Amino acid sequence: MKTKGRDLRRRMFFDRLFKGSVIVLSSVCMLPMFFILFFIMKNGISVINWEFLTALPKPMGEAGGGISNALAGTLILILIACLISVPLGVFAGIYLSEYRKVRFTYFSRLSLEVLQGIPSIVIGIIAYVWIVVPMGAFSALSGGIALGIMMLPVIVMSTEETLKLIPDSLKEASLALGVPYPRTILKVILPAGLSGIVTGIIIGIARIGGETAPLLFTAFGSPFMGLNIFKPVSALPLVVFNYATSPYPEWHALAWGASFVLIAFILFLNMLAKLVTRRWKVQF
């Protein structure tokens, strides 16, 4: 009896120790995130002012300047990426969900998963070889295309997931009523899954908004405000990279400010995605 009691106490001890360790280790995981966010907010918020958001960067070593061209550049890149990846991605998602029994679909899906795993710098090289060299110039277009390729798998997979959740009865009801197949898909099924698709787009944007590597040799960066997609363009993550690795404290401050804007943007998108899911999701 006594041995059993001691045995039990030992096991209980390890049980509690284990639970404690799990909680402690998990909490330690949370620390870096709070650290990073805290420092970005502390250092970044003092830099944000009207000039910062609307002015162009100043020459090297001079104080002041802003990131207005980086903001515009990031928006343009996201726009181009969406234009490329959303139509293609949604249709690919429709394909995967409609033809899921077909053998070939397996390879399609596999390709997408491999695409998703490709390091962003390799995609940057591809965009350089496919677009920058033939065009003879760095451009927002090439950067947008690189980002679009990265965003594609996200859109496809979220579209497929969303469409899988829609019961077949809806499609069958539509077809039974005589609605042609294309219309059924585009005007009945897609709208039903709109929340999931939009969420996927938002998540995709959040993922590519902060990407730097693919832009290094495509969008190239620019100290000027550029709205021409065939020319180089600045972007928020490029600004962070260039200013952070410089030795000037004024530029470090700008980097903190740009980081703050970037993180705020991504956080906003994440919250938006959650909101869209909650409000628009059609329950079946």
- Which residues, in sequence order, are CB contacts of 284 under 8 Å at separation 6+? 165, 166, 167
Q: How far is the CB of 58 from other proteins (least distance, A)?
A: 8
Question: Residue 104: phi, psi to the nearest 5?
Answer: -60, -30
- Answer for which of 80, 154, 254, 276 binds other proteins (CB under 8 A) is 80
* Residue 85, SS3 per DSSP: helix
Instruction: Pick the piece of the chain touching other proteins (CB under 8 A) from 18-26, 47-55, 157-165.
Output: 18-26
**Closest separation in Å from C-beta 124 to other proteins:** 8
Minimum distance between the CB of residue 266 and other proteins, rounded to whole angstroms?
5
In this complex, which beta carbon is closest to other proteins, that of residue 53 or of residue 227? 227
Question: Residue 41 burial (CB < 10 Å; 0-12/13-18/19+)?
Answer: middle
Backbone angles phi, psi at 217, to 5 degrees: -120, 35
Work out which of 52, 67, 70, 138 binds other proteins, going by CB under 8 A: 138
Cα separation, 61 vs 249, whole angstroms: 9
Q: Which two tokens stand for residue 171?
A: 């499609």
217 binds other proteins (CB under 8 A): yes
State the nearest-atom distance from the C-beta of 49 to other proteins, in Å: 21
One of 87, 164, 268, 275 touching other proteins (CB under 8 A): 87
How many residues of this chain bind other proteins (CB under 8 A)?
Answer: 127
Token representation of residue 217:
């040799």
Region 221-280 residues binding other proteins, contact defined as CB under 8 A: 221-224, 226-232, 237, 240-241, 244-248, 255, 259, 262-263, 266-267, 270
Asked if residue 179 binds other proteins (CB under 8 A), the reply is: yes
**Backbone phi, psi, residue 61, to 5°:** 85, -10
How many CB atoms are closer than 10 A to CB 268? 12
Q: Does 55 bind other proteins (CB under 8 A)?
A: no
Task: Provide the 3-class DSSP secondary structure of residue 36.
Answer: helix
CB of 50 to other proteins, least distance (A): 21
Q: Which of 55, 98, 165, 253 contacts other proteins by CB under 8 A?
A: 98
